[in-house]
Amino acid sequence: MEDLIVRMVSRIVVPFIQVYGFYVILHGHLTPGGSFSGGAILGSSMILFALAFNLERGAKKLSHETSTIVECAGAGWFAILGLVGIYMGQNFLTNKEAGFYMGAPGDLVSSGAIVLITLGLGLKVASTVVTLFYSLIEVEGDAHD
Amino acid sequence: MTFINVIHAHSTVLLIVSFLLFSFLMPILERWKNSWCATMAVAAHVLAFVFIGNLSWRVFTEGTIHYELGGWSPPWGIEFVVDYLALFMLITISTVSFLILIFGTVDLTHELKPKVLGLYYTLYLLLVGAMMGLAVTNDFFNMFVFMEIAAISACGIISVKSDRECVEASFKYLMLSAVGTGCVLLSVALLYMIGGHLNFAFAAVAIQDVAHIYPNNILVALALFSVGFIVKAALFPLHVWLPDAHSSAPSPSSAILSGLVIKIYTVVYLKLLYKVFPIELFDLLPVFDMILILSALSIFFGSIFAIVQEDIKRMLAFSSIAQIGYVFLGIGLANSTGLTGGLLHIFNHAMMKSMLFLSAGAIIYCTGIRKIDDLKGIGLKMPVVMGAFTIGAMAMVGIPTTNGFISKLYLALGTLDANKHFYLAIILISSFLNCLYYFPIVINAFFGESEEEDGEEEIQVKKLPLRMSVPLIILGAGCMIFGIFPKYILVIIERAVEMIL
Amino acid sequence: MIDFADVAMRLFENMYYLVSVILFVIGFHTMLTHSNLIKKVIGMNIMDTAIFLFFVSTGYVQGGVAPIIEPGVEQAYINPLPTALILTGIVVAVSVTAFALSLVVKIYEHYGTLDAEEIMRIRSTES
């Protein structure tokens, strides 16, 4: 599909979507939203890019391989943050007692492990959405392109 | 020494997290060193044995273990509880899945494309981890999440083969298990609405308090729970997904699905019935009698359907429906002997059905035969496989000295204790029906002669690899050992039953 | 004798529950009776959504707002726990839907149709 308007508009819109996605992810502990909502927004920007241009250019930005690895790393990151609690002599997934920096309520850097978990899982969700998109489109991709 | 202390204090959660962590690492590892995936999966199981060994030592010496995730105490946080019932399930799951995995490391290379081999272990570990989570969780929503993980990964290990039967069977299973988990979530909502707690223990107290104000809520919740778990455990009228799913999947998947996955839902159902719902409720709604009727139907029709099957794996799948009926029979009898029999049958059936599926898989691996009629004279060519199959068949029928006999004996005594002689007749009839479909295979395999010997070429038999024969031998020996000395597993079961009732 | 006005009033008060049960039945019906596989997936989603609506409405407090606590403001807050749980539920439902759709794609590749009865017919003529 070669459409100038779609390409130009998506080229302009994609960065804004990504910034908004990161905003939602990073403010997950302060406002409604968080890793899943933000990650879905972030992932949809990549899908928009790949749809507006073509799969090859989309894959150049974020390939199927990379998204699979980021996805697994995000899930592993969550488990590792939980294990930090055990390492510090507390229970699994302990937050404040395990020595994470709590900060003042309402600040961006606060709430200890929650913000780290949200960041990791946000990236995981984004890459999951992209992986799902690639997996679905590569199955039938041969017939269309 | 701190390392041992960490294991000692946190083995409950480390058990589940290690499975999940290993399964997440698998796709990364798969790209880097493809051949290591199987080793890593085995390593995860070995690690799990360490944790379970620690847990069983602690449960036997200190009693029930409570673990609070995130340091939040129960009404707020998620709680894991390891008691004798959970420990029993953990031991069953880890042992059987370990043996299936050893078998699978060879069998899967033949059944799957190399591209998906690493991802298969991801799904496998995820499934085992979710089942262990279901065994130890003490929280409604955590239970729901583990159920969904188990459902998705179970569908995944069916559809991984990606031929048309597998994909269709997997879709059917996914839809029906979505109905099941939907029902469960709705009943969790109904119970949360009146109780305000998600923890089993706190919810039980709260429900007890308000049971006379909102009886309808609790009854609807109980009905939805029953439907949800009966769909998942494939009791008779809602079993339609099972035969396709279990027969078309790769053999290790069939073994774990039939041996463990349908059992874990019965255990969770048992836990909910006795721990959460108030006893007076069962006067209003005779749920145990309903379970008994359904289990009798399941035992009877499962066997009848199994008789007419031509495909060996399909026959075994229908046999699973009959055998899950025994487990529910034990739950429905609701006395200590019957319940002991039901729980014992979970363990025994996990061993014998996985052994039967693995030996069917070994037959398919070595000869490519799936039809029951073509198995004539195969016993002398594959003595280990057909020997294991024979022990499994004997255990299914309930010949003394095999473990099937012990659990059927307990169930029969349980029916006598409960004064329900009709179900004793069901157990006996079903044993005869089991004879009808298992023994012809065994007799044909050892004593049957291929009719047109000169015209047809001999069946080509590949050599059975060591990694496939050893799990079969261990499972077969286990069936015999636990048939002669059942006390080693009854130690745990009797305490679990004591705790439940 | 049933007082219909009373019943109607109580149904109106519990409108969320009523609507979610109706939605649940619609989803269930779609899932079981339609032979198109995509429609089955849609039915499953409607069913899940109904359950989520039900669960979320159990935590609603009349006149409550989202529980973001600002110092010095006294307000009624809704119960955040069902909302948080349902967020997880939505994630699970999304992944189940994605998996189901990928299976549908595979089924279409193998059979060339999305109709469940047609697939049954193809399978029965084969064997």
Q: Does A76 touch chain B (CB under 8 A)?
A: yes
Helix B383-397 and helix B421-447: axis angle, to 10°?
Answer: 160
**Local confidence band at B184 (pLDDT 50, 70, 90 cut-offs):** very high
Strand pairing category for B65-68 and B79-82: antiparallel
Residue tagged 């807050």 (tokens): C77
Q: In terms of CA atoms, which chain C residue is nearest residue A30? A: C68
Measured between beta carbons, which residues in chain B are less than 8 angstroms from residue A93?
69-70
Instruction: State the Cα–Cα distance between residues B104 and B110, nearest whole angstrom.
Output: 10
Q: B371 in helix, strand or coil?
A: strand
Averaged over B313-324, what is the pLDDT?
89
- Binned at pLDDT 50, 70 and 90, residue B450 comes out as low
- Residue (of B416, B306, B303, B405) closest to B349 by Cα position: B405
What's the predicted TM-score (pTM) here?
0.93
Interface check for B47 against chain A (CB to CB < 8 A): the answer is no
CB B150 within 8 Å of CB B131: yes
Chain C residues with beta carbon closer than 8 angstroms to that of B198: 81
Q: Would you place residue A144 in the very low, low, confident or very high pLDDT band (cuts 50, 70, 90)? A: very low
Predicted pLDDT at C51: 92
Chain B CB within 8 Å of residue C103 CB: yes
Average pLDDT over residues B364-369: 82
**Among C47, C51, C22, CA closest to B192:** C51
- Nearest CA to A106 among C72, C105, B307? C72
Contact check, Cβ <8 Å, A32/C68: yes
From the list C52, C11, C56, C46, the residue with the least C-alpha distance to C26 is C46
pLDDT at A55: 78
Q: Which residues of B251-286 are buried (b: 16+ CB within 10 A; e: fewer)?
A: bbbbbbbbbbbbbbbbbbbbbbbbbbbbeebeeebe
Distance (Å) from the alpha carbon of A72 to chain B's nearest alpha carbon:
5
Question: Is the pLDDT reported for residue C1 higher than 70?
Answer: no
Question: Nearest CA to CA, how far is B462 from chain C (Å)?
Answer: 27
Q: Render C15-72 in DSSP notation, one character per residue.
A: HHHHHHHHHHHHHHHHHHH--BHHHHHHHHHHHHHHHHHHHHHHT--TT-B-----TT
Residue B127 reports pLDDT greater than 90: yes
Chain C residues closer than 8 Å to A139 by CB? 102, 105-106, 109
| Poorest-pLDDT segment among B178-182, B460-464, B489-493 | B460-464
> In angstroms, rounded to a whole number, what is the distance separating the alpha carbons of residues A97 and A113?
11
Pick from B27, B67, B71: CB nearest A68? B27
User: Which residues 3-42 of C have a C-beta within 8 angstroms of B?
Assistant: 24, 28, 31, 37, 40
CB contact under 8 A, A86 and B10: yes
CB half-sphere exposure, B256, CA atoms < 13 A: 33
Nearest to A138 by CA among A46, A42, A55: A55
- A138 and chain C in contact, CB less than 8 A: no
What percentage of chain B has pLDDT greater than the value 90?
A: 16
Q: Which residues contact B382 (CB under 8 A, 6 or more apart)?
A: B362, B363, B366, B367, B461, B464
Q: Look at C100 and B152 and tell me if their CB atoms are within 8 Å.
A: no
Q: Which residues of C24-36 are buried (b: 16+ CB within 10 A; e: fewer)?
A: beebbebbeeeeb
Cα of B38 vs its chain's centroid, Å: 22
Contact flag A76-B27 (C-beta cutoff 8 Å):
no
3-state secondary structure of B217: helix
> Which residue in B119, B141, B314 has the most chain C C-beta atoms within 10 A of its own C-beta, making it the best mutation to test that interface?
B141
Cβ contacts of B295 within 8 Å, gap of 6 or more:
B235, B236, B325, B326, B327, B328, B329, B332
Grouping H, G, I as helix, E, B as strand and the rest as coil, residue B289 is: helix
Contact C102 A140 (CB under 8 A): no
CB neighbourhood size of C77 (10 A): 12
Please state the φ and ψ torsions of residue B68, each to the nearest 5 degrees.
-105, 120
Chain A partners of C106 at a C-beta cutoff of 8 Å?
A: 139
Taking the C-alpha atoms of residue B125 and residue B132, their distance in angstroms, rounded to an integer, is 10
Closest CA to B87 of B44, B135, B142: B135
Q: What is the mean pLDDT of chain B?
A: 86
pLDDT of A16: 94
> Alpha-carbon distance B316 to B352, whole Å?
11
CATH number of the domain at C9, please: 1.10.287.3510
Which pLDDT score is estimated for B363? 86
Distance from C-alpha of B260 to C-alpha of B254, rounded to nearest angstrom = 10
Other C-beta atoms closer than 10 Å to the C-beta of B237 total 11
Distance from CA of B182 to the nearest CA of A (A): 21
Mutation target for A interface from C91, C110, C114: give the one with most A CBs within 10 A: C91
Question: To the nearest 10°, the Cα dihedral for A140, C45, C56, B272?
Answer: -110
**Whole-complex ipTM:** 0.92
Q: First-to-last CA distance in chain C?
A: 60
- Whether B168 sits inside 8 A of C55 (CB atoms) is no
What's the pLDDT at B38? 85
Q: Chains touching chain B at 3 or more Cβ pairs under 8 angstroms?
A: A, C
Give residue A143's pLDDT band: very low, low, confident or very high (50, 70, 90).
very low
> Across the interface, do A132 and C98 touch by the CB < 8 Å criterion?
yes
CA-based end-to-end distance of chain B: 40
Q: A86, A98 in Cβ contact below 8 A?
A: no
pLDDT for A142 equals: 47
Residue B69 to residue A76, Cβ atoms within 8 A: no
DSSP state letter for B137: B
Cα–Cα distance between C18 and B30 in angstroms, integer? 49
- Cα of C91 vs its chain's centroid, Å: 13
Chain C positions touching chain A (beta carbons under 8 Å)? 66, 68, 87, 90-91, 98, 101-102, 105-106, 109
CB contact under 8 A, B20 and A75: yes
Interface contact A94-B10, CB threshold 8 A: no
Condensed to tens digits (0 to 9), the pLDDT of residues B47-94 reads: 999 999 999 998 889 888 888 887 788 888 888 999 899 999 999 999
Is B167 close to C106, i.e. CB distance below 8 A?
A: yes
Distance between A131 CA and the closest CA of chain B, angstroms: 13
Tokens of B285: 């709604």
Query: Chain C residues with CB inside 8 Å of B171's CB?
Result: 37, 100, 103-104, 107
Which residues, 6+ apart, have CB-to-CB distance to C49 below 8 Å?
C23, C27, C93
Q: How many domains does chain C have?
A: 1
Average pLDDT over residues B36-44: 87
Sign (positive or negative) of CA dihedral B376, B377, B379, B381: negative
DSSP strand E in B194-263: where? Answer: none
Ranking A15-24, A86-95, A132-141, C13-22 by mean pLDDT, the lowest is: A132-141
Neighbours of B73 (CB within 10 A): 10
Domain ranges, ordered by start, for chain A: 4-144
- Cα–Cα distance measured from residue B343 to residue B327, given in angstroms and rounded to the nearest whole number: 7
Report the helix count and the strand count for chain A, using DSSP H and E: 5, 0
The Cα–Cα gap between B223 and B218 comes to 9
Is the Cβ of A5 closer than 8 Å to some Cβ of chain C? no
Please state the rounded mean pLDDT for residues C67-92: 83
pLDDT at B130: 93
Sign of the CA dihedral running A122, A123, A126, A131: negative
